[in-house]
């Protein structure tokens, strides 16, 4: 594998100088890159791409492998670069996608079958579920809250009103409703713990 250190400082040929972002041709027809352009693109950008990849993975070997994959993708898709945007932006987009794919693959969870007899959805109510008892506990918590907290929770969760509808009903702004709801939920959790719920 080629060394990536100092690759960006190599002497560039006349063709490479023309491929730097600041000097891309700005004619009516967008400039297209071809296979002979690859070495100039590689030499001009490998150092920065490697630096970006290393900053994302923190491991020299992985960074070198990913940088190789990135430039292989660049080589295979040279004809798709139309010169309408920044060459460096296009290269970094390929680098970002490649690094994201790397992490996605590295931390993919294996698929596991469900144990026999276990279904994904069970429509039956659990035998220990007591709706009346739950409603009593919710009522106790709501009664222990200040009136504005109680109202916002009733509108939002019991009556299933939107934030906008709740704001209109309580004569508040939508932002105030969101803040009030957050505080009311926090207070309701404290009350629930005090009632040993």
DSSP calls for 109-134 = PPP-PPPTT--S---SPPTT--HHHH
The highest-level CATH class for domain 7-106 is mainly alpha
CATH of the domain spanning 131-194, picked from 3.30.1370.10, 1.10.10.10, 2.130.10.10, 3.10.20.90? 1.10.10.10
Spatial CA neighbour of 4 closest among 39, 37, 40, 48:
48
Give the mean pLDDT of 172-176: 93
3-state secondary structure 163-188: HHHHHHHHCCCHHHHHHHHHHHHHHH
Per-residue pLDDT tens over the stretch 25-40: 443 334 556 667 788 8
pLDDT of residue 65: 95
What number of other Cβ atoms are within 10 A of residue 26's Cβ?
8
pLDDT of residue 180: 94
User: What's the chain's average pLDDT?
Assistant: 78
Give the mean pLDDT of 3-31: 41
Per-residue pLDDT tens over the stretch 49-79: 999 999 999 999 999 999 999 999 988 887 7
Span(s) in the chain for CATH 1.10.10.10 = 131-194
Q: Match 């709706």 to its residue by tokens.
A: 131
Span(s) in the chain for CATH 1.10.1740.10 = 7-106
pLDDT for 191 beyond 60: yes
Spatial CA neighbour of 151 closest among 175, 132, 172:
172
d(CA 137, CA 102): 48
pTM for the whole thing? 0.44
Predicted confidence band of residue 23 (pLDDT cuts 50, 70, 90):
very low
pLDDT of residue 129: 62
pLDDT for 116 beyond 90: no
Count the helix, strand and coil residues of the chain and give each as a percent rounded to the nearest 5: 65, 0, 35
pLDDT for 153 beyond 80: yes
pLDDT for 17 beyond 50: no
């Amino acid at each position: 594998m080629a060394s990536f250190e100092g690759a960006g400082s190599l002497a560039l040929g006349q063709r490479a100088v023309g491929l730097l972002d600041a000097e891309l041709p700005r004619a009516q027809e967008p400039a297209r890159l071809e296979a002979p352009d690859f070495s100039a693109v590689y030499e001009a950008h490998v150092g920065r791409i490697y630096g970006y990849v290393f900053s994302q993975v923190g491991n020299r070997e992985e960074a070198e492998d990913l940088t190789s994959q990135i430039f292989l993708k660049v080589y295979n898709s040279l004809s798709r670069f139309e010169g309408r945007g920044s060459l460096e932006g296009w290269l970094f987009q390929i680098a970002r996608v490649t690094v994201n794919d790397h992490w996605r693959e590295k931390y993919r969870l294996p698929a596991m079958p469900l144990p026999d007899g276990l279904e994904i959805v069970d429509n039956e109510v659990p035998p220990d579920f007591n709706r009346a008892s739950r409603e009593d506990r919710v009522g106790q918590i709501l009664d222990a809250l200040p009136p504005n907290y109680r109202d916002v929770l009733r509108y939002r969760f019991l009556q299933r009103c939107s934030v906008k509808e709740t704001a209109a009903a309580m004569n508040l702004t939508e932002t105030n409703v969101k803040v009030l709801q957050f505080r009311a939920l926090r207070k309701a959790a404290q009350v629930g713990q005090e009632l040993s719920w």
